[in-house]
């Protein structure tokens, strides 16, 4: 029993140190990236700093994924309740309500898919990064590790692969197209863009116009 308690203590200290390290340093590799390599999807990535990311891509992912990102504590309770009601009525069309914080926790520390066990860990890691990281760091990490195409991770790799430019130079439309693929980056191609990406990116640009005047959103775009 004592040995088990020691192991738990060492695990707790170890992961806490890793969370703190990732506050300033991007993860050397993630579980999702390892799985992509093993499955033959490849790995393209190029971590960049928050200042090297265009305000357009920051605005686009907030418009598409989490419009309350600056204001919540990691969880959008209203959206979670709506998703639960929808899923009860439509069991074959599951709708998620993950915030950018939750997606960052999953992408940096955990793995894709999984059941209640992974979800429980996701809640814990979301709470921890909201406690220990800034909103800017959470958004920066998300934009560096999120899968944005088959084997393509992070906005710099996506900008290079799709538009032959750096992430700092992404236009509003290009940023919206990248954000449009996030729900299923292996299915929805950015270039050449399919009907879904073109349609969703148009809606994302409308939402970008709607939220960019919000003071809390604007503060994260600087």
Q: Which domains are present in the chain?
A: 30-221 (1.10.3810.10)
Question: Residues with Cβ < 8 Å from 64, sequence gap 6 or more?
Answer: 176, 179, 180, 182, 200, 204, 207
Q: Name the residue among 189, 186, 183, 180 with its Cα closest to residue 36.
A: 186
DSSP state of 49: -
Beta strands in 17-100 (DSSP E): 44-45
Phi and psi torsions of 131, nearest 5°: -80, -40
Q: Which tokens go with 132?
A: 């220990």
pLDDT at 11: 83
pLDDT at 86: 44
Question: Residues with Cβ < 8 Å from 183, sequence gap 6 or more?
Answer: none
pLDDT at 208: 97
Are 33 and 157 in contact by the 8 Å Cβ rule? The answer is: no
pLDDT tens for the 222 residues of the chain, in order: 778 777 877 888 888 999 999 999 999 999 999 999 999 999 999 999 999 999 999 999 999 999 999 999 988 777 766 655 545 554 555 455 689 999 999 999 999 887 888 899 999 999 999 999 999 999 999 999 999 999 999 999 999 999 999 999 999 999 999 999 999 999 998 988 889 999 999 999 999 999 999 999 999 998
pLDDT at 58: 98
Count CB atoms within 10 A of the CB of residue 172.
19
* 3-class state of residue 212 by DSSP: coil
Please tell me the pTM assigned to this model.
Answer: 0.91
Phi-psi region of 154 (alpha: psi -120 to 50; beta: other; left: phi over 0): left
What gap in Å lies between CA 117 and CA 58, rounded to an integer? 30
What gap in Å lies between CA 47 and CA 205, rounded to an integer? 25
């Amino acid at each position: 029993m004592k040995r088990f308690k020691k192991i738990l203590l060492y695990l707790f200290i170890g992961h806490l140190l890793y969370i703190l390290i990732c506050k300033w340093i991007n993860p050397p590799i993630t579980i999702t990236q390892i799985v992509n390599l093993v499955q033959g999807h490849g790995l393209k990535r190029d971590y960049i700093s928050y200042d090297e990311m265009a305000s357009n891509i920051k605005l686009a992912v907030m418009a598409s994924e989490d419009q309350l990102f600056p204001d919540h504590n990691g969880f959008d309770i209203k959206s979670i309740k709506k998703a639960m009601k929808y899923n009860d009525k439509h069991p074959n069309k599951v709708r998620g309500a993950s915030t950018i914080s939750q997606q960052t926790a999953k992408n940096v520390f955990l793995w894709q898919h999984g059941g209640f066990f992974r979800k429980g860990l996701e809640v814990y890691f979301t709470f921890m990064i909201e406690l220990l990281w800034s909103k800017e760091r959470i958004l920066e990490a998300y934009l560096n590790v999120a899968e944005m195409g088959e084997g393509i991770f992070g906005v710099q790799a996506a900008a290079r692969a799709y538009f032959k430019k750096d992430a700092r130079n992404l236009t509003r439309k290009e940023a919206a197209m990248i954000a449009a693929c996030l729900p299923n980056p292996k299915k929805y191609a950015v270039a050449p863009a399919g009907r879904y990406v073109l349609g969703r990116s148009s809606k994302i640009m409308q939402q970008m116009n709607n939220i960019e005047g919000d003071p809390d959103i604007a503060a994260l775009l600087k």
